[in-house]
Structure 1
Amino acid sequence: MARILVVGLISFLFTSVGPLPVENYTDSTTSLNLVYEGSTLSGTITLPPTNNTQRTFRGSAYRDRRTSGSSSSTGSGESNPLLNTIISLHPTSYEMSSTEPSETPSVVNQENATFVPHVTPVIVGSIVEFINNDSFYHNVFSLTPGAKFNIGRRPTGDVYSKEIPKTQWKVEGLGEIQLFCDIHSSMNAVILSLDTPYFQRVSEDGTFEIKDLPAGTYELRGYNPNFEIASEEVTLDGETNITVDLNFMN
């Protein structure tokens, strides 16, 4: 009789208050992560007029070796500057436990003596693959403090993988790694290292949309290599979708 009463009481409690909430947990063999559906932040960016200033590298170690068949391209990436703009959200009201590197490598192609894309955003610790798609030799190097490297001269079809370290932040949570080719002086690009998984490249029409954002206060940042970083504070409730327009001209 007592056993029947206990079972009945448990059944009553479960149906009255519902199942207990499931929390994230980690043990030696299992990691359970809940799928979170939160707010969506969307908007449009506005850029000032550009003068397409060409950035080149010339130093004592620079060798301006023109390889037969090389292009005279400016090497500065996409013609639409909006595609060089990255939007990122950095929590200020809570601290993320950790940000895992991306499982899929990002790819930077070398095509027509140009880095494509010109700006590549990655989470710190992720892998970037540099691929030479030209019919002549290329190189990739950086002198950015904390991220110096030089992959040497690489032939057509070569793929070189590089883990992106945490470098000196341009602003907290956002680092800029400058890339050059020591064979073609006009080639330049940027790896944008981030401490947040909430980022997106702006579309050709200047719009962006970042989904599944937890409740909290964030610093919304807009990065473009030709302008100062634009930023604005936004607060999300984890349910409501909001729109914020970011103006680089302010």
Structure 2
Amino acid sequence: MGSRALKPLLLVLLLAAPLAGAAEPGRVEGVVEISVIGPDGKPQPKADRSGVVVYLTGYTEEPPAEVARMSQRDKTFFPSVLPIVAGQKVEFENKDVVLHNVFSRSVARKFDAGKNRPGEKYVETFKKTGIIDVYCDIHEQMVATLVVVPNRAFAVTDKDGRFVLRGVPPGRHPIFAVHRRDEKSDISRAEVVVEAGRASTATLRLVETRVDDSHLDKRGKKYGPRPDYSGKAP
């Protein structure tokens, strides 16, 4: 074979080498078990195990360009639990018929959207990882949670506590489960080994301890009657 014929062949091999060496991502499948304290003071399994955020750490990824959304309707946040990647933007839109004032006094991220009328939006960027409790300064019953994670390997459990994390690079990774119904922000932690192109399994366990969602307003004071957009007390 002449040198002219070898050059195209060598070029193809050189281009293919990085692709052959790149490890195919794997995935993590599993379940979160939640216990609640029964009337007899003993733990018992909880039937509905939805709303738990499961995520991996150990590596970082760029946030998606997509803006995450948490709206307000019927004096409720939708969704009530929202995982995002550090650096991602979140849009808070008032889809209600009353005034709202979204805020957080969490150590991980403090912000105050101010009073927003129906149809108005507020956008905030969350650059650091952490758990952020979100409230409304007008309606005390409105509570939600943002979980800011370092990469895109996250999921929210279904009613049976099941989850799937996709696109995970091979290796040993810490895996966490966070549930906003846990008063002390106890986080379940384990480790999982992910192999290229394969599914790994994990089981995490939490104990639900929070009995209510009482909290202070954005000034650190107790809530009192205050008018909303309808002119009536909330």
Residues 1:221 and 2:156 aligned together: no
Match of 1:73 in 2: none
Structure 1 residue 116 displacement after superposition: 1.6
Match of 2:66 in 1: 104
Residues 1:201 and 2:156 aligned together: yes
Match of 1:85 in 2: 52
The letter of the residue matching 1:103 is A
Distance 2:154 2:137 in 1: 31
Match of 1:236 in 2: 194
Residues 1:246 and 2:204 aligned together: yes
Distance 1:12 1:137 in 2: 68
The letter of the residue matching 2:30 is G
- Corresponding residue pairs, total: 195
TM-score, L = length of structure 1:
0.69
Structure 1 residue 14 displacement after superposition: 6.8
Distance 1:137 1:83 in 2: 29
Residues 1:180 and 2:143 aligned together: no
Structure 2 gaps, min length 5: 39-46, 208-234
Match of 2:97 in 1: 135
Structure 1 gaps, min length 5: 24-34, 52-79, 167-173
Q: How does 1:116-155 map to 2 (within 5 A)?
A: 116-145=78-107, 147-155=109-117
CA distance 1:185–1:12, change in 2 (3 Å) = closer
Are the equivalent residues in 1 in contact too, given 2:63–2:151 (CA < 8 A)? no
> Which among 23, 26, 29 is matched to residue 42 of structure 1?
29
TM-score, L = length of structure 2:
0.73
CA distance 1:14–1:153, change in 2 (3 Å) = closer
Are the equivalent residues in 1 in contact too, given 2:108–2:132 (CA < 8 A)? no
> Which among 159, 165, 171 is matched to residue 121 of structure 2?
159
CA distance 1:140–1:50, change in 2 (3 Å) = farther
Distance 1:145 1:10 in 2: 60
Are the equivalent residues in 1 in contact too, given 2:153–2:167 (CA < 8 A)? no
Please report the RMSD computed on the Cα atoms of aligned residues, expressed in angstroms: 2.7
Are the equivalent residues in 2 in contact too, given 1:138–1:153 (CA < 8 A)? yes
Distance 1:100 1:43 in 2: 25
Are the equivalent residues in 2 in contact too, given 1:88–1:198 (CA < 8 A)? yes
Distance 2:108 2:30 in 1: 34
Are the equivalent residues in 1 in contact too, given 2:51–2:156 (CA < 8 A)? yes
CA distance 1:181–1:50, change in 2 (3 Å) = farther
Distance 1:81 1:104 in 2: 30
Structure 1 residue 161 displacement after superposition: 1.1
